[in-house]
Structure 1
């Protein structure tokens, strides 16, 4: 009998295993993680899978840059249309449009590269406690149950929703009772069950998981969270650079910071290291962090 982790990871792999419809055209399904729309990491991960299926197997994704254009409808399928921009001897480029109800909800450019030898350097991995010494997000979430009365009823399901990724924060942040702190966080993460021995799958799962926790880093200095009344949050864009092969079913450290926020937008960055201290990926994202005043807007009727 499959464990909960195996069930969740199996479901995630099913999500990422897109249905081919036609040449460079694929269809994917969505999962409800308790938010108001499709989780951004799901769309980005599926778009990465769609692009990967149109390039030479010897080429692996080394970067992606995507824009979230519209909220995704969790009840509707998503169609992924892949444009072959360029095929070179070393690099290939693909453009992917994620479409629902006839309109794009996400647009991505991804670049693929054959493995080459070259110069190597990197920043040092932060010195943090091992993941085995830290509480999982699932364990912490159970302790937050007594604080659910602080959360709008429409969002309570999101607090209890389990996901396929095991996340362990070095300094946990209670999103139901957020404190003010520096815009820095370190989170160990990995899939809750083994993944296939396919580097393309590991990079797609990393793309999916990289959207967890990142935008929240820009809220730390302000003592607010996604669950704060009147708070409107959404990913605007997302970029990843893959530096070397990685294993998403082994612990990776996601070291995040937010250098600034302005005009209702927060910028967050992340470096991802394996346990050997090797930098495997870098991430950047700008997101909407709008505090709505909940007051009526001016209209011709009310002046």
Structure 2
């Protein structure tokens, strides 16, 4: 599909999350052929959560998910999502989802849904950062440093479903990282409206949560943009959803990495709305294998 035929990346994201129901608990998702080495993990996680949510009554929003990336998915090949209805209790609903591609399990997810109920509230404050209107968009910042963008990079920014604005200017050289801490923060929102289905917004944010969280791990050792010294792969992913939100409104994704060792790095993130309410907490571990490491 060309950019001319479908110019709105937000519409493409909604379509990507609109799974085909094959059987009562079996769904099929598209996997666009984007000429990537493997399917983007956020796509698989978002589609798996859609499959889980479509087997609930809709009155219980998801409050947590825990997932493992088991094998790389192949772009251009459909993915089948098999849902197990583990439990339907009075307050909580549990679903387990297995993603299968060409007969091989590539991913599995467990999601828990909670009937809304009252309770006390407390949270740590959102960090003080510039607002998104004060920051350049990703494409503008890249052009400022690179000049005319290579075709592949220009196409990537045009097709990006989220407007991304880094709170700190992108780190461009290894020298600039000499005292860099493993922390990063970005403002994000979908580039267009995503409709009014709360599950779509939850799954769209799940998609977005995998886009750059592991960047916090490697900030002290290599620039965000440029040649990479590591093969990077997500190993697992966990999220806790605290409050309702819209993924087509600005949210701050604050990220940090407490540790990297043994070719694995751990990252955690907090997602806030523009008023400072904590919406989502995220944890992810990734593999960081040097290109010259024995296989």
TM-score by length of 2: 0.91
Query: Partners of 1:227 and 1:293 in 2: how far apart?
Result: 18
Match of 1:39?
A: 40
TM-score by length of 1: 0.88
The answer for unaligned runs of 5 or more in structure 2 is: none
CA distance in 2, matches of 1:45, 1:199: 13
Instruction: Report if aligned partners of 1:226, 1:233 keep a CA contact under 8 Å in 2.
Output: no
Partners of 1:137 and 1:264 in 2: how far apart? Answer: 29
**1:91-140 CA deviation, whole Å, 9 max, x = no partner?**
00000011101011111000000111012111100100010110111222
Cα shift at 1:200: 0.9
Aligned ranges 1:1-303 → 2 under 5 Å: 7-32=8-33, 35-143=36-144, 145=146, 157=152, 160-162=155-157, 163-174=160-171, 179-180=176-177, 181-225=180-224, 227-293=226-292
Cα shift readout 1:46-82 (whole Å, capped 9, x = no counterpart): 0010000001110110000110001110021000000
Per the TM alignment, residue 247 of structure 1 is displaced from its structure 2 partner at its CA by 1.1
Offset of 1:147 from its aligned partner? 9.4
* Distance across 2 between alignment mates of 1:206 and 1:87: 25
CA distance 1:114–1:178, change in 2 (3 Å): farther
The question of whether the paired residues in 2 share the 8 Å contact of 1:19 and 1:26 is answered with yes
State the number of aligned residues. 289
Provide structure 1 residue ranges, at least 5 long, that are not aligned to the other structure.
150-155, 298-303
Judging changes above 3 Å, is the alpha-carbon distance between structure 1 residues 114 and 3 closer, same or farther for their aligned structure 2 residues? Answer: farther
| Cα deviation 1:210-233 (Å, max 9, x = unaligned) | 011101110011125585354200
Question: Contact 1:137 / 1:169 at 8 angstroms: preserved in 2?
Answer: yes
The alignment yields a C-alpha RMSD, in angstroms, of 2.5
Q: 1:235 to 1:223 in 2, by over 3 A?
A: same
